[in-house]
Amino acid sequence: MADSYYDPKDLRKFGKITEWSEELGTKFFDYYGKVFEEGALSAREKSLIALAVAHVVKCPYCIDAYTKDGLQKGVTKEEMMEAVHVGAAIESGATLVHGVQMMNKYDKLSM
């Protein structure tokens, strides 16, 4: 039995998604590559953003990939953890702000 549902070796197979849908897979990888090129944001900054987002969307493959990418780009462990906390703060804030919806519904139904 596997130790985890997610097999880190599967990340190396990501490029194979084009085998089942060549046109869409190719378009995705072209887009993905373009997004991570240097632009208004540096590749290093984009790597930190990707790491934070990877945690928010809970993608273990992405976490592995962007931890490695960040290390290769000179991102420190402190910067990585700070980025993770930024993502966590946004995610928890988004959850809590939906409490206003619950409060409004409660007030409407309890009148």
Its pTM stands at: 0.83
Domains of the chain: 22-110 (1.20.1290.10)
The CA-to-CA distance between both ends of the chain, in Å, stands at 55
pLDDT at residue 6 is higher than 90:
no
Q: At what angle do helices 99-109 and 77-97 cross, to 10 degrees?
A: 10
List the Cα angle 63/64/67 in 5-degree steps. Answer: 80
Average pLDDT in the chain: 94
